[in-house]
Amino acid sequence: MHGKTLRDHIRLRKSLYRISERLGNPIASDFTSKDFAHYREQRSIEVTTTTINREHAYLRAMFNELERLGVIEFENPLSKIRQFKEREKELRYLDHDEIARLLGSCQTVSNRSLVFIVKTCLATGARWGEAESLKPSQIKNNQITFLNTKSSKNRTVPINQTLYDELTALESISEERMFLNSLSAFRKAVSEANIDLPKGQMTHVLRHTFASHYVMSGGNIVKLRDVLGHSEITTTMRYAHLAPEHLEETLMLNPLNQHQKPTDS
C-alpha cells in the first residue's frame, strides 16, 4: 500500500506485517481467495468479526493500491470475498445521574486534565483522542476546532461560556498540548463512579452520550452528522431511533395501541 500518504501509515504497516506473518508470509502472486478464507476461518476462533473484517479491508486495500500503481498485474485475490456480517453493537450512553457521578469521580482523581477532557467530549461529541490532544490555539471565540480528525476534515463546534472560561483559564502543559495523557485516569474514574460499560466503549461512551442526548432533545440528524464529523449519514442514523417523534410514532402507531383504543358507542 502507498502507506506514506496515509496519516496512520506506521500503525497500518505494522498491522499488515502482523497479518502477513500469521498467513505464513506468502508470495503475493500465489495468494488466493481460498488462502484468505482459510485464514479468517482459523482467525475467527481467536478474535471478533470486527477485527477479521478490518484485516480483510486492510489487505484488500493494499492489493487495490498495488494494482493502481502498476506494481502487480494480477487481480486482487480478495475482490470477490464478502466481509462477515456484524451484529449491531449496543450504543451505551450515560444518563444524567451517571454523568453527574462521572464528573464527580473525575474531580477526585489526581490527574488535573481529566475532568476537562471529559467535559469537552460531553459538550462537543469529540473522540477521546481529539479532545486529549487539543492545543490552546484550537479554542477561540467560544468554539473548539478539531484538527487531524478521523475523517481528515477539520470541524468547529461551539461551547458554552462556562466551559470556554474553564478551558481558557487552564494552564496548558505546553504550547502544543493542553492536557496530560488521561486514559488510565478515566478508567479509574469510571470504575469509581460504578458505571458498567460494554467492552470496547470505555472512551467512546462520551461521544455516544453527546449524540444520544442531542437526538433525544430534538436535535437534527443531519446537523449531528456535521458536528460528529461522520463521512456517511448512515453512521449517524444509528441514533435516529432516540428521536422524540420516532418514539411517539412507535407508541401511537403500534397495532396493540390501536387495538386498545376505545371505540365510539
Place of cell 458505571: 195
Q: Which pLDDT tens digit goes with each residue over 180-201?
A: 999 999 999 999 999 999 887 8
pLDDT of residue 88: 66
Strand order across the beta sheet in which 143-146 lies: 139-140, 143-146, 155-158
Respond yes or no: is residue 93 known to be catalytic. no
Kindly give the confidence (pLDDT) of every residue in the chain, 265 residues in length, as a single tens digit, with 9 standing for 90 and above: 444 444 567 778 888 999 999 999 999 999 999 999 999 999 988 888 888 999 999 999 999 999 999 999 999 999 889 888 877 677 899 999 999 999 999 999 999 999 999 999 999 999 999 999 999 999 999 999 999 887 778 999 999 999 999 999 999 999 899 999 999 999 999 999 999 998 878 889 999 999 999 999 999 999 999 999 998 888 888 888 888 887 777 777 778 776 676 655 4
Quickly count: other Cβ atoms within 10 Å of residue 1's Cβ.
Answer: 18
Catalytic residue chosen out of the listed positions 40, 43, 127, 225: 127
Neighbour-count burial for 50-65, b at 16+ CB within 10 Å, e otherwise: eebbebbeebbbbbeb
Respond yes or no: is residue 259 known to be catalytic. no
Angle between helix 183-192 and 96-108 (nearest 10): 120
Catalytic residue chosen out of the listed positions 135, 177, 204, 238: 204
Mean of the per-residue pLDDT values of the chain:
88
Catalytic residue chosen out of the listed positions 119, 207, 213, 225: 207
CA separation for the pair 210, 94 (Å, rounded): 9
In the chain, alpha helices (H)? 9-22, 33-43, 49-68, 96-108, 114-124, 128-132, 161-169, 183-192, 204-216, 221-228, 233-236, 244-253, 255-259
Catalytic residue chosen out of the listed positions 54, 92, 150, 238: 150
> Which residues touch 254 (CB under 8 Å, ≥6 apart)?
none
Closest CA to 81 of 65, 69, 63: 63
CA separation for the pair 118, 82 (Å, rounded): 38
Please report, as a single letter, which amino acid is at residue 147.
L
Respond yes or no: is residue 230 known to be catalytic. yes
pLDDT of residue 1: 45
Domain boundaries defined on the chain: 8-68, 96-248
Q: What is the pTM of this model?
A: 0.70
Respond yes or no: is residue 239 known to be catalytic. yes
pLDDT of residue 264: 53
Please report, as a single letter, which amino acid is at residue 38.
H
> Thinking of the domain 96-248, which architecture would CATH place it in?
Orthogonal Bundle (1.10)
Helix (H), strand (E) at residue 139: strand 139-140
pLDDT of residue 245: 80
Give the DSSP letter of residue 132. H
**Three-state SS annotation for 153-177:** CCEEEECCHHHHHHHHHCCCCCCCC
Q: Which pLDDT tens digit goes with each residue over 209-252?
A: 999 999 999 999 999 999 999 988 888 888 888 888 877 777 77
Quickly count: other Cβ atoms within 10 Å of residue 214's Cβ.
Answer: 20
